[in-house]
């Protein structure tokens, strides 16, 4: 198999603390399973770069990255230095849009040994995927401010839902549900209140469902869906949502499963026309940065998802993914833990333990 080229972008804050642990474990897996990987680090797409240059990325960022097979990404955002909408629309959200990473796949799993904030839940009760639309919807830069500073001050922010963009994420989610033993799909909606886009979204869900007679599906308004994540997480198998609903569900789900510190994500261009991007769900966590106490498992699990995607069915890559997951589970059950999981270990100790467990 050809060498897989990985662009490494640590970003801001704890992105810089968890990235070395992600690379440590991915490199250990590459050595064990004889995977041909190469890594190139980029020190832009962070707020220090913005402070030096007035931009988040160089003008030729697209050309610099487009021939990589994957981007391994930490986190971006340092609101004390740069407003979040500037830093994120100048980096991560550009990658997702311009590399057409329209699937944001976010597994949620209660791992054995993780303290669960929900009463009486066992591993197995929380085991589902959030499939988030990643390029349109409520995340838009269309709109504007009018009559600024007057009593008539008005702000307009449009949502954009296209048939192509909606159908392709629904198809991905139904295919995923169809491939899983329980074959359940829940579509997040809010068609009672959001009276144009969401009734239309529900119609597209029903039309796609007609192609998957073996999948049992329902739609749930986002408000009660959030409540059921907390009360009955065992109901869920594949949950598909628009960009904003998927964003919210993919912090809530991992919080229900103990900590957002272990949650991974894969921003996929399934057609492989452009590099896909793998990153933890969490952000740069300014409140804990600099203490080396961030949980590196979200970064490490994202690395496992990256190998699985790069392998595209190749058995050594699949084995590397599975081995990293088993090493994560073994370490969570019986090894050092960071404070978000009730432990006292530091970031490096957890990454080192997972690499050793491999």
List interacting residues with ligand NAD (CB under 6 A): 14, 75-77, 79, 84, 88, 92, 260-261, 279, 282-288, 294-295, 298, 338, 340
Q: Which of 255, 227, 222 is nearest to 239 (CA)?
A: 222
Q: Which is nearer to ligand IPM, 139 or 317 (CB)?
A: 139
Structure-token pair, residue 101: 């990473």
Q: Which is nearer to ligand NAD, 185 or 324 (CB)?
A: 324
CA distances from 56 to 11, 52, 53, 94, 149 (A): 10, 10, 8, 11, 30
State the Cα–Cα distance between residues 160 and 84, nearest whole angstrom: 21
Q: Which is nearer to ligand IPM, 239 or 353 (CB)?
A: 239
State the Cα–Cα distance between residues 111 and 295, nearest whole angstrom: 14
Helix axes 243-256, 222-231, angle to 10 degrees: 10
What's the distance, CA 326 to chain centroid?
Answer: 20
Residue 345, contacted partner among ligand IPM, ligand NAD, Mn ion, none, CB below 5-8 A by kind: none
What x/- string results for residues 263 through 292 when contact with ligand IPM is judged by CB under 6 A? ------------------x-x---------
Q: Shortest distance, CB of residue 247 to ligand IPM, whole angstroms?
A: 4
Q: Shortest distance, CB of residue 17 to ligand NAD, whole angstroms?
A: 8
Q: Shortest distance, CB of residue 38 to ligand NAD, whole angstroms?
A: 24
Q: Can you list the alpha helix ranges (DSSP code H) found in the chain?
A: 15-33, 47-53, 61-65, 84-89, 92-98, 163-179, 197-209, 222-231, 243-256, 297-311, 315-334, 347-357
Q: Which is nearer to ligand IPM, 244 or 330 (CB)?
A: 244
88 binds ligand IPM (CB under 6 A): yes
Q: Which is nearer to ligand IPM, 77 or 336 (CB)?
A: 77
Residue holding tokens 């490096």?
A: 348
Among the listed residues 17, 136, 138, 247, the single contact to ligand IPM using CB under 6 A: 247
Residue 287, contacted partner among Mn ion, ligand IPM, ligand NAD, none, CB below 5-8 A by kind: ligand NAD
**Residue 353 phi/psi, 5° resolution?**
-65, -40
The per-residue DSSP string of 193-226 comes to TSTTHHHHHHHHHHHHHTT-TT-EEEEEEHHHHH
Q: Which is nearer to ligand NAD, 177 or 262 (CB)?
A: 262
Q: Shortest distance, CB of residue 178 to ligand IPM, whole angstroms?
A: 26
Q: Shortest distance, CB of residue 250 to Mn ion, whole angstroms?
A: 6
Q: Beta strands 103-109 and 37-41: pairing type?
A: unpaired
237 binds ligand IPM (CB under 6 A): no
Among the listed residues 12, 247, 279, 329, the single contact to Mn ion using CB under 5 A: 247
Q: Which is nearer to ligand NAD, 187 or 256 (CB)?
A: 256
Q: Which of 8, 78, 20, 6 is nearest to 49 (CA)?
A: 78
Q: Which is nearer to Mn ion, 197 or 250 (CB)?
A: 250
State the Cα–Cα distance between residues 293 and 153, nearest whole angstrom: 44
Judge contact between 241 and 249, C-beta under 8 A: yes
Q: Shortest distance, CB of residue 64 to ligand IPM, whole angstroms?
A: 22
Q: Which of 142, 104, 108, 84 is nearest to 243 (CA)?
A: 104
Q: Shortest distance, CB of residue 342 to ligand NAD, whole angstroms?
A: 12
Residue 354, contacted partner among ligand NAD, Mn ion, ligand IPM, none, CB below 5-8 A by kind: none
DSSP 245: H
Q: Which is nearer to ligand IPM, 77 or 351 (CB)?
A: 77
Instruction: Name the residues that contact Mn ion, by CB under 5 A.
Output: 247
Instruction: Name the residues that contact ligand IPM, by CB under 6 A.
Output: 77, 88, 247, 281, 283
């Amino acid at each position: 198999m050809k060498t897989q080229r990985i662009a490494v972008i640590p970003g801001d804050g704890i992105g810089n603390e968890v990235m070395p642990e992600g690379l440590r474990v991915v490199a250990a897996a590459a050595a064990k399973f004889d995977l041909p990987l190469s890594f190139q680090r980029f020190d832009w797409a962070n707020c220090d770069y913005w402070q030096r240059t007035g931009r988040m990325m160089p003008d030729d960022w697209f050309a610099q990255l487009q021939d990589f097979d994957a981007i391994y990404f930490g986190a971006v955002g340092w609101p004390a230095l740069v407003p979040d909408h500037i830093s994120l629309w100048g980096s991560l959200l550009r990658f997702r849009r311009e590399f057409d990473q329209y699937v944001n796949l976010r597994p949620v799993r209660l791992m054995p040994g993780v303290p669960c904030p929900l009463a009486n839940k066992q591993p197995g009760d929380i085991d589902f995927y959030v499939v988030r639309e990643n390029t349109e919807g409520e995340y838009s830069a269309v709109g504007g401010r009018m009559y600024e500073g007057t009593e008539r001050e008005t702000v307009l922010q449009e949502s954009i839902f296209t048939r192509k963009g909606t159908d392709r994420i629904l198809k991905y989610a139904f295919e995923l549900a169809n491939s899983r033993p329980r074959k359940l799909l829940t579509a997040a909606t809010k068609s009672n209140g959001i009276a144009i886009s969401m009734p239309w979204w529900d119609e597209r869900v029903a039309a796609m469902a007609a192609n998957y007679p073996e999948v049992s599906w329902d739609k749930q308004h986002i408000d009660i869906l959030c409540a059921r994540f907390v009360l009955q997480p065992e109901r869920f198998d594949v949950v598909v949502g628009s960009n904003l609903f998927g964003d919210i569900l993919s912090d809530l789900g991992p919080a229900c499963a103990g900590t957002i510190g272990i949650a991974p994500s894969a921003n996929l261009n399934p057609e492989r026309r452009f590099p896909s991007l793998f990153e933890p769900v969490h952000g740069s966590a300014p409140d804990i940065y600099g203490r080396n106490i961030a949980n590196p498992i979200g970064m490490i699990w994202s690395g496992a998802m990256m190998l699985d995607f790069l392998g595209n069915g190749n058995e050594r890559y699949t084995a590397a993914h599975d081995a990293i997951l088993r090493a994560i589970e073994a370490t969570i059950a019986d090894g050092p833990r960071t404070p978000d999981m009730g432990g006292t270990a530091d970031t490096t100790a957890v990454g080192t333990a997972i690499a050793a467990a491999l």
